[in-house]
Amino acid sequence: MKTSYSLTFLGASLLLAFQANAAGTLVQEMSKMTVSTAGAGSAVLAENASVAYSNPAGMSYIDGDALSVNAAVMDLGIYYHDDIDPSKDSDNAGGIQPYGSLYYVHQLNDDVHLGMSVSAQGGSALDYGTSYAGALNLNDLKLSVIQFNPSVSYQINSKLSIGGGLQIDYATFEENLLCGQGNIETDSWTLGYNLGLMYQVDENNRLGVAYRSRMNHDLTGSFSTNAMTVSVPIPGPIPGSVDKNISAMSGEAGLNVLNPRQIEVSGLHQLTNPLSLVWSLGFEQWSDNDSTTISINDGNRISQIERNFDDVWTGAVGARYQLTPKLRVESGIGYASSPLDDPDYQGADLPVDTQHRYSIGATYLWSKDISFNTYYSYVDYGEPEINNSGIDGQFDNSNQFIGITMNMAFK
């Protein structure tokens, strides 16, 4: 009975800890190089090699070969405030985290371009410690997802081009839980694809559509716990808890995490000689993620949690103004609806509400073949409430991004 209870408790803890990651904490600023316009124009801009990722059809607008290298840092702020006991609050569980990406485009002939992208798809390093309200379910974690995205484009005629690519994801996840006495390490590879279309309406207006398929990660690895006694909350109108003995365990664990299919439509409009407007509208099918399953010891113990996700709608609008022949300034605002509004389904590993983005940046033409884009973006992740597994409170979350991208052309 001890072993059975221990596995059940561990499975429940893992499900709760993985809950928000299964909600897909993809951070678009890590991979799409339209940060300075808050993501506006992502599926239609085709000025450098990063288009190989955002919309492979746009590679047809690259003359010759091109390389883009991005280096950036994000400053993630995750604060938990407990409604019952302020001593169960957490300090900032986030912090400063560096990341980067690489993009390359090769012109094979007049009609065909080849591309390759290597980019971070999302991830975080969180550390709540062992004294906040959710210490049984999550203490600290490290999540990293990197994608290799080879792609190809074909120019059908002077107005229309199409493209597609293969998404190859590698994910790693390491977590400590059970007040520091439990550990899990998992990783996985998975495949998907992306498609794109770009249409030049006239010399001043262009439209783009980009699609990314769902990516289903089956993370597998190991778990272990030390022998311990834990205090388990008792649900009900009167707060309370009961002590349970957990025996030392080790074994294999598996988890499925789904990142949903996404589609984005963007426009570019040259309003005047120095001023252009960009916009994007997007849809992410979070409702397709109906449950998450944990298996322990080769499937001998399986737990499942039902989801309550809504589909996510996104929108962004930005402007770009050419101050001088070498310098352009850029700005934008963006919005994303919340995939989860019910406190009973929230998790502690980066819960998000509606998102609001505010961005500025500049592009400087260093020479005819080299340019630099610098950007800053502030993202308000909202104040989602949580009320499950002894955690009753509210988060205050935000993120800041600052980075620079070097773009080179080889003609």
pLDDT of residue 12: 58
- In this prediction, residue 211 carries a pLDDT of 98
Check if the beta carbon of residue 348 is closer than 8 Å to that of residue 88.
no
> Which residue intervals of 34-128 are DSSP H helices?
51-54
pLDDT given for residue 9 in this prediction: 56
pLDDT at 18: 55
CA–CA–CA angle 311, 313, 319 (5° rounding): 165
Domain tally for the chain?
A: 1
Residues 230/12, Cβ–Cβ less than 8 Å: no
**What pLDDT score does 22 carry?**
44
Q: Do 52 and 371 meet the contact criterion of CB atoms below 8 Å apart? A: no
The pLDDT, as a whole number, for residue 116 is 97
Domain that holds residue 46: 2-410
- Residue 74, domain CATH: 2.40.160.60
Half-sphere exposure at residue 386, Cβ-oriented, CA atoms within 13 angstroms? 29
105 Cβ partners below 8 Å, 6+ apart?
A: 49, 51, 52, 59, 62, 65, 66, 67, 113, 114, 115
Which residues in the chain land under pLDDT 70? 1-26, 123, 227-248, 290-294, 298-307, 350
